[in-house]
Chains A and B, each alone.
Chain A
């Protein structure tokens, strides 16, 4: 920056003015979309949640916090929130653990790396609708592969998507098949970034495969694991597609997620204001979880 110092103050201020203009000019296109399709909906949604607005446009007067007090007393809201947290819990664990196990095994120097990546990652490229069609068909009580397999093992058939006790697990199985390949790829990339010298030193010290995995790979993967868990929790909380497509939230609301409740309150129940209030409660939950995670990761690294 030796040139900058020789520039006269006037030229310098001219340059900083030009930088201001250029900077905002380059930011403007993004900013326009950002304001129109993110900031504005956030504001108008907050305003809408304070009104009784219906899908037909009627009743757009302010009703204060009535939507929120109604939502907090709405057992269906709590149930769908509970379903969402349940799904998040029982999907995040296998989506992280299986991904790590697959990556660790594939990274053992197996031949045909591309084949394994292809097999485990390719479902991630499918639209949710395709996944739901595949699995709804495999879960078919009479004609499905799952019950056929159970029958061969001498186990009585299961009403996969129609049994309230089983339906969420059935959805988790489909979800794991669909998206575990993404976390698997992230773990594989992280494993391949661990310097070889660590393993060489360990094997000179006589550490075996398992020992090396637990004392080298796993600690080295710590930061990646924290990231993957956070991203997975935030992704699982947003679940809607595959549940709506496979069970429509049933049986009897047993799998209805909070996003589906937002959708139904607005588009089936015609209550946009109420639906906006529920989406803000959902947003509040996401914020709390995100802040908790920031707090935990800070504390750990401090």
Chain B
């Protein structure tokens, strides 16, 4: 390692401390070529964002005029954003998404961490079976459950409530598995000492195990939050009431309502995209590490 580090010290990228990139010596030509290819692709990847932004900043007339152009004839305007925000629903939907996703994430973390702790640490009868059932349940695709879940929510009178949005979304079996694997690595001695001192299980769990597990809890939280924030099918079925819709479902109704108002469509899409993109810019490293550690957990 020492030699490669010495030969290319300038290539140490800032901001990627955890994941050391490949530092093997390369001919400059192939690295330049790779940079060019990746740059072209990265620009291509940004085109949908850029085109949506360009459209959202046009008047409806300019957005719908041919030949199409990145620069509108009558100049850029914030009209579309103003109209979309005035119609009032996007802020409500954002709050709904924020609230339900946060609640789903919180409940998921609490119930998954505690069952994972029990399976990892406590010797109780039936635990192998419990783990087996949880792992087996990973195979059940959520769409299979939508019809009976809808029935269930209907008979509990919970359709068009936050409960219907939150409760069925808190079971993430792969995450139980991820957490259990992490807890398995925490040295038992730490707990044995506390047990000897007469500390209860709950205290050990909350004051020793959970604080030591912050990175994995963050990773699970990120993964669950993104999934909940973007979930479409279940919220689409469980809510009709406009004031209760989450952002993704609300956008779908806007699309049908606005029809051909392209600038307003793009302005709404961008406003809906904004919260997670901003969060991502701030927590990029944590999010990427979180996805990389939990991403393969599904199997």
Contact = CB atoms under 8 A, between A and B. Distances in A.
A85 to B, nearest CB: 15
Given A38-B145, A45-B145, A272-B147, A109 B111 contact: no
B291 A105 contact: no
Contacts of B284: 114, 117-118
Interface in A21-36: 21-27, 29-31, 33-34, 36
A interface: dominant SS: helix
Interface string A28-55: 0111011011101110110010000000
B4 A42 contact: no
With a 10 A CB-CB cut-off, give which of B25, B123, B299 has the most chain A CB atoms.
Answer: B299
Interface in B53-78: 55, 63-64, 66-68
A200 B24 contact: yes
A60 B230 CA distance: 34
A30 B176 contact: yes
Interface string B26-45: 11001100110110011001
Contact of A29 (B35, B110, B137, B280): B110
Contacts of B229: 127
B266 interface: yes
B144 A45 contact: yes
A237 B140 CA distance: 12
Contacts of A40: 148, 152
B52 A240 contact: no
Nearest to A265: B147
Given A30-B176, A110-B31, A127-B230, A283 B141 contact: yes
Interface of A: 3, 16, 19-27, 29-31, 33-34, 36-38, 40-42, 44-45, 48, 102, 105-123, 125-130, 132-135, 137-138, 140, 142-145, 148, 177, 182, 185-186, 188-189, 191-192, 196, 199-200, 203, 209, 212, 224, 227-228, 230-231, 234, 237-238, 240-241, 245, 259, 262-263, 266-267, 272, 275-276, 279-280, 282-283, 286-287, 290
16 contacts: A16-B123, A38-B145, A41-B149, A113-B15, A129-B251, A129-B272, A133-B255, A134-B49, A182-B295, A186-B296, A192-B22, A262-B146, A263-B233, A282-B144, A283-B144, A286-B141
